[in-house]
């Protein structure tokens, strides 16, 4: 290799090394669980029997790099097996977000702009069931330190009604089939909240009602 090529390679590596060094490695599942500081909020039995199902990088409102995980709690009850863990590698700590979960550990990261600043919002789901009904809530939040700050939420429910085909062919009218959507606008601080409500009868789209509203995103930590 001639001197010119060596010089080019040395310059390239000189740029690459600092850039690669600036990215911290994603914590392993084992590390995330070992960093959890509030195991008393675990629904698993034993409490540390937590499985990481999926993890995504997310920025706190302070721009600190963090990771959000959807988790499963072993040997938990029907309405308590799923949840979320927030990990902050900077602190080498993680916490269970006990206000969300139940029967769902699904979340989405939405990137948008607020007052000229790129921000990450999280659409996080909670769900539960009982007495023939399934209910869930999609909450749009931003992360401030260990806290989740609610922007808006939408609820969903499914209930077949007091249906008995032999006795009452219209009993499905007492049921529900409601869904909801949160669409974050990527380059402006607004979210479109849509609800679709209807009964449990198999004659859709008859009986469906759709309602949409445009809501401003408000983040108090950004002035």
Domain boundaries, the chain: 25-216
What digits encode the pLDDT tens for the residues 23-71? 457 899 999 999 999 999 999 999 999 999 999 999 999 999 999 999 9
- pTM, two decimal places: 0.84
Name the pLDDT band for 1 (thresholds 50, 70, 90). low
Distances (CA, A) of 44 to 89, 170, 202: 23, 42, 39
Per DSSP, 36 falls in state B
Rounded distance, CA 46 to CA 54, Å? 21
Distances (CA, A) of 95 to 17, 69, 149, 169, 193: 32, 10, 16, 49, 29
Name the pLDDT band for 164 (thresholds 50, 70, 90). low
Rounded distance, CA 83 to CA 76, Å? 11
What digits encode the pLDDT tens for the residues 122-131? 999 999 999 8
Name the pLDDT band for 147 (thresholds 50, 70, 90). very high
């Amino acid at each position: 290799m001639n001197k010119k090529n060596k010089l080019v390679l040395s310059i390239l590596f000189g740029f690459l090394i600092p850039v690669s060094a600036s990215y911290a490695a994603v914590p392993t599942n084992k590390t995330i669980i070992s960093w959890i500081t509030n195991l008393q909020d675990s629904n698993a039995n034993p409490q540390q029997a937590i499985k990481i199902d999926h993890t995504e990088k997310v920025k706190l409102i302070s721009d600190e790099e963090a990771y959000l995980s959807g988790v499963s709690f072993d040997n938990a009850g029907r309405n308590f097996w799923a949840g979320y863990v927030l990990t902050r590698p900077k602190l080498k700590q993680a916490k269970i977000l006990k206000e969300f979960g139940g029967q769902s550990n699904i979340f989405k990261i939405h990137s948008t702009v607020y007052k000229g600043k790129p921000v990450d919002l999280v659409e996080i789901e909670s769900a539960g069931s009982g007495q023939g009904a399934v209910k869930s809530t999609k909450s749009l939040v931003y992360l401030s330190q260990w806290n989740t700050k609610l922007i808006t939420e939408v609820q969903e429910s499914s209930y077949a009604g007091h249906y008995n085909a032999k006795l009452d062919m219209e009993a499905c009218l007492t049921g529900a089939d409601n869904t909801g959507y949160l669409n974050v606008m990527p380059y402006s601080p607004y979210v479109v909240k849509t609800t679709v409500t209807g009964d449990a009868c198999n004659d859709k789209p008859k009986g469906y009602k759709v309602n949409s509203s445009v809501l401003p995103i408000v983040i108090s930590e950004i002035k």
